[in-house]
């Protein structure tokens, strides 16, 4: 295993396009779940350790911006994987820009809509407009290390140990389930005024923090 991991750091993995797409699909799924778990725990402390709040706009425990951030980290840092400090700083910068841009666009073009607001949260040192803060970008940088040195090599390793068809089927089925949930709540709900995850969970008494 040590030899394999050293090879992962030194050489570009020899993977066909289908397998690589399946690995990226798994990253999208796992990163979004990771983001949900992180926010689920953080907002428990932010709310005075009284209640765990459901976060995100989906039925499943998955938050899309973390998936986009993970893909950004992969594409910008993979070639720098020999240098953890570069992975950390680039991941911090890429995700910080994504977070600020996403928050600013939503607030500016959608009547002050915010999915997060660091103005009202704990540990918000370095807060810029409520869109980004030092704590958030530090978490993103650390998550980049976890992605490049933990999740990605693990996915590559299993892609080589599991029959290709089975690996790809698992990855793409999980991605499809997640994307159906996300697209329904992002597109179908506002267009056709159907009930989405937020409305349904609130009606069931699930503590929800928007």
d(CA 55, CA 60) in angstroms, rounded, equals 10
List pLDDT tens digits, range 65-118: 999 999 999 999 999 999 999 999 999 999 999 999 999 999 999 899 899 999
Query: Residue 158 and residue 35: Cα distance in Å, rounded?
Result: 23
Rounded Cα distance between 80 and 60, Å, is 33
pLDDT digits (tens, 9 = 90+) for 113-154: 899 999 999 999 999 999 999 999 999 999 999 999 999 999
Task: Kindly tell me if the per-residue pLDDT of 191 is higher than 80.
Answer: yes
Helix ranges (DSSP H) in the chain = 2-10, 17-46, 64-77, 84-109, 134-146, 152-161, 164-183, 189-192, 197-203
How distant is the alpha carbon of residue 152 from its chain centre? 14
pLDDT of residue 22: 98
pTM (2 decimals)?
0.94
Give residue limits of the domains in the chain. 18-183
Q: Over pLDDT 90: what percentage of the chain? A: 88
The answer on pLDDT for 13 being more than 90 is no
């Amino acid at each position: 295993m040590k030899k394999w991991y050293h090879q992962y750091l030194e050489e570009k993995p020899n993977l066909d396009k289908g397998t690589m797409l399946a690995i990226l699909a798994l990253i999208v799924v796992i990163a979004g779940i990771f983001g949900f778990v992180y926010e689920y725990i953080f907002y428990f402390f932010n709310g005075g350790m009284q209640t765990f709040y459901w976060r995100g706009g989906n039925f499943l425990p998955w938050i899309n911006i973390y998936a986009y951030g993970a893909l950004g980290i992969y594409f910008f840092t993979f070639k720098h994987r020999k240098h953890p400090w570069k992975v950390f700083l680039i991941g911090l910068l890429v995700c910080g820009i994504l977070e600020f841009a996403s928050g600013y666009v939503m607030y500016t073009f959608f009547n002050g809509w915010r999915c997060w607001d660091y103005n009202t949260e704990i540990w918000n040192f370095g807060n810029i407009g409520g869109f980004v803060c030092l704590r958030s970008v530090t978490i993103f940088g650390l998550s980049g290390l976890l992605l490049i040195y933990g999740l990605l090599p693990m996915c590559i390793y299993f892609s080589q140990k599991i029959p290709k068809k089975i690996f790809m089927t698992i990855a793409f089925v999980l991605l499809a389930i997640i994307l159906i949930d996300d697209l329904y709540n992002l597109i179908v709900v506002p267009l056709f005024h159907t009930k989405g995850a937020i409305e349904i969970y609130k009606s069931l008494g699930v503590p929800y923090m928007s």
